Amino acid sequence: MMHDYLPINRIDMNIRGWKQCDFVYVVGDAYVDHPSFGHAIISRLLEAHGYKVGIISQPDWKDKKSIQILGEPKLGFLVSGGNMDSMVNHYSVSKKRRQQDAYTPDGAMGKRPDYATTVYCNLIRSVYKDAPIIVGGIEASLRRFAHYDYWSDRLKHSILIDSQADLISYGMGEKSIVEVADALSSGIDIKDITFIEGTVYKANSLDSVYDYQLLPTFDSMKADKLEYAKSYYIQYSNTDPFLGKRLVEPYKDNLFVVQNPPSKPLSEEEMDFTYGLPYMRNYHPSYEEQGGIPAIREIKFSLINNRGCFGACSFCALTFHQGRIIQARSHESLIDEAKKLIEEPDFKGYIHDVGGPTADFRHPACEKQTTKGACSNRQCLFPEPCKNLNPDHSDYIELLRKLRNLPKVKKVFIRSGIRFDYVLADPGKKFLKELCEHHVSGQLKVAPEHVADKVLSKMGKPKNDVYREFVKEYNEMNGRLGKKQYLVPYLMSSHPGSGLHEAIELAEYLRDLGYMPEQVQDFYPTPSTISTCMYYTGIDPRTMEKVYVPTNPHEKAMQRALIQYRNPKNYDLVVEALKLAGRTDLIGFEKKCLIRPRTGGPKSNIDGKSGKYNGNMGKAEVQSSEGQKNRKRKTIRNVHKKAAKK
């Protein structure tokens, strides 16, 4: 095995003495050979199992030759849109084109297409008609069944159908991709690889499919959003590798999408093996003259200590992608990697993060999960911590101590986020002390997301009282330690369940806190989350009850403005929202008021009692002066109609 970057052209193949690759990995990101990048993990893992893997990074999807630079692989193509969903990568929640792509040389935009996985697969299929194509990564994993697509505002097929791929390796993929590779290597046709956990395939009939649960048909879901909500919750309830059933989604009489149960979690030894592979730990040298890859800056001096998350927030896709069972690396593995970081010439003494989806989850939520899986009918932390939860931070504390005692290490930060309710559930408060004393740099970022319990319940987050208790404990601990350190809360506007009244409640909390966030995250409907299902259907799939969803751009702008009510640019929107919600008591000169009065202000079509938008105008119309005139005319017509009825 040559310790070098994997081949990206024929010259590299010749140096290695290869005439043909076993697999060609096509990816929407630049080639970064680092374990924070999915394409690096999968390609290095296959290499470790004896397979020859070449990389085609960011091919020109308008040029067939770009997909032919390594020739046709012996066993098949692997395709991923990249570390980040290509649509989230390209567009903000307001569907405006982003200006930078951190996974591209010098942050340049336009190096990958929208819906990159599908486009790359169709490009491959146009050249290599019969080559096996296996898709993976976050983009494919979250589109494995029919899904709501926010950017086109419609229900879309499973990505298997639109991409013409043969197989999805969903989730993190280490186990399933090696099994797929071994099956192909043994001579099994790709169409007969129907038996591997963690994969999704197409079937012409169900004659050979056994022990499955049938989902609603695509046509029925397209016709009735209630059917989609039912289907989604069945999928959500079958994400556990021990309890999950085989699922089948019918399309036509001779077309079915079949999902096998998820792969089993990696053991500690398997995690150590995966992260101990011979990565070059940097972007390919060919990018140097192009300005390098910005994304490497965030992760070069960080350590991934776990994967999976039993927090299960409604707006997060981790349950669908990584699962709820925590998988962690050993102390030895992490210390070995830390020693490599220390030897880097540009290491300044700071380990930027020792984390994962949730940094302080170092073991499964309870002992049962390691053999029987996570409960399908209850959450570990929501609405309250389960009585079987084991909120023990002792292993994490020991790991952090070992890392910060390494030579040349000045400070070890925790930046990828902690669960404040999990910290509070640990009765000893040892971790809170350790955190405040050693691992915070002036500010600790936490994610309460909101303060209205009505909204928090839809988010799957703990009640506001829990966050307030954490704030109290955090401040008291810093006081005892003689430190001035602050909390920076992440907040979200316009999540399902949030109307103007709830947005105002959040604004009042920020007023009392004396804090105005510089940035506000509008809820972003991405594939395969509970919150996105609520956004599309207006139904909470967990209860099948209706839920209010703010979808109109003007109403969403008001909710966002309320969080940043001190910004003069938001004044008119804040006044409008307060008047509509009947909260003009917050306009004045008293201490409790959000803003001071002034003359003027726009009209609106928001119902003052419910806080709901009662018009049907699009974004462009709302933002234009002509649109405002049309709304005014429509309002006047509605008033006359109501008067006539009376």
Q: Is the pLDDT of residue 406 over 70?
A: yes
What is the average pLDDT score of the chain?
92
Q: Could you tell me the sign of the dihedral formed by the alpha carbons of 538, 540, 546, 548, in that order?
A: negative
Interhelix angle for 394-404 vs 430-438, to 10°? 20
- As a whole number, mean pLDDT of residues 449-455 equals 96
Q: Is the pLDDT of residue 617 over 60?
A: no
Beta carbons within 8 Å of 139's beta carbon, 6+ residues apart:
80, 81, 82, 85, 86, 115, 116, 117, 159
Q: Which residue has the tokens 């499919």?
A: 209
| DSSP secondary structure code for residue 302 in this structure | E
User: Residue 28 has what pLDDT?
Assistant: 98
Measured CA to CA, the distance from residue 5 to residue 31 in angstroms comes to 9
| DSSP secondary structure code for residue 614 in this structure | -
pTM over 0.85: yes
Query: By the 8 A CB rule, do 104 and 30 touch?
Result: yes
Measured CA to CA, the distance from residue 35 to residue 45 in angstroms comes to 11
Quickly state the pLDDT bin for 614 (edges 50, 70, 90): low
**pLDDT tens per residue across span 37-88:** 999 999 999 999 999 999 999 999 999 999 999 999 999 999 999 999 999 9
Query: By the 8 A CB rule, do 372 and 242 touch?
Result: yes
Quickly state the pLDDT bin for 232 (edges 50, 70, 90): very high
Quickly state the pLDDT bin for 638 (edges 50, 70, 90): very low
User: Residue 603 has what pLDDT?
Assistant: 53
What proportion of the chain, given as a percentage, has pLDDT over 90? 87
Query: By the 8 A CB rule, do 329 and 279 touch?
Result: no
**pLDDT tens per residue across span 540-554:** 999 999 999 999 999
Task: Write out the DSSP string of 492-545.
Answer: EES-TT--HHHHHHHHHHHHHHT---S--EE----TT-HHHHHHHHSEETTTTE
- As a whole number, mean pLDDT of residues 373-392 equals 92
Measured CA to CA, the distance from residue 636 to residue 605 in angstroms comes to 11
Q: Which domains does the chain have, with CATH numbers?
A: 10-202+252-259 (3.40.50.280)
Structure tokens at 247: 């699922």
Measured CA to CA, the distance from residue 340 to residue 334 in angstroms comes to 10
User: Residue 520 has what pLDDT?
Assistant: 83
Task: Write out the DSSP string of 426-491.
Answer: STT-HHHHHHHHHS-BSEEEEEEE-S-HHHHHHHT---HHHHHHHHHHHHHHHHHHT---EEEEEE
Structure tokens at 471: 């704030």
- The values of phi and psi at residue 604, to 5°, are -155, 160
Q: Is the pLDDT of residue 243 over 80?
A: yes
366 annotated to bind ligand: no
Rounded (5°) CA angle 584-93-215: 110
Q: Could you tell me the sign of the dihedral formed by the alpha carbons of 316, 318, 323, 327, in that order?
A: negative
309 annotated to bind ligand: yes
Query: What is the identity of the amino acid at 517?
Result: P
User: Residue 376 has what pLDDT?
Assistant: 84
User: Residue 599 has what pLDDT?
Assistant: 67
The residue among 122, 29, 146 whose CA lies nearest residue 84 is: 29
Query: By the 8 A CB rule, do 486 and 444 touch?
Result: yes
